[in-house]
Amino acid sequence: MTVGWVLMSERELDRVEVLSQVSQGRMTAVTAVTAANVLGLSRRQVHRLLKRFESEGAASIRHKARGRPSTRRIDPGLREYAVSLVREQ
């Protein structure tokens, strides 16, 4: 088994902590109201996250697009052209 580093935001770490408490039975899971209130999510969202957390582990909670380039990025050539226009003006 290989153990590696997984970068997570503070929000994702809070989710992992609360979900681990729910899965260990230290926080209510049946209604999931307590966990939902703590995380600021709906009860349904907590159940969905808990299912994925229990099947795939803590790394499944992190955002899936981390490390990927934005789909809304500006083409580097166009960006350079715009910057040169601004500098001339």
Condensed to tens digits (0 to 9), the pLDDT of residues 51-68 reads: 888 888 877 887 777 778
Q: Which long-range contacts (CB under 8 A, 24 or more apart) does 12-16 make?
A: 12/61, 12/62, 12/63, 14/39, 15/39, 15/49, 15/61, 16/53, 16/58, 16/61
Please report whether residue 69 resides in a domain: yes
Please report whether residue 3 resides in a domain: no
Domain count, the chain: 1
At 18-53, the pLDDT tens digits run 888 888 777 765 556 788 888 888 888 888 888 888
Please report whether residue 5 resides in a domain: no
Distances (CA, A) of 82 to 31, 70, 79: 53, 19, 5
- pLDDT for res 28: 61
Domain interval for residue 56: 10-88
Please report whether residue 4 resides in a domain: no
Please report whether residue 37 resides in a domain: yes
- Give the span between the Cα atoms of 33 and 46, in whole angstroms: 9
Please report whether residue 2 resides in a domain: no
Please report whether residue 74 resides in a domain: yes
Please report whether residue 57 resides in a domain: yes
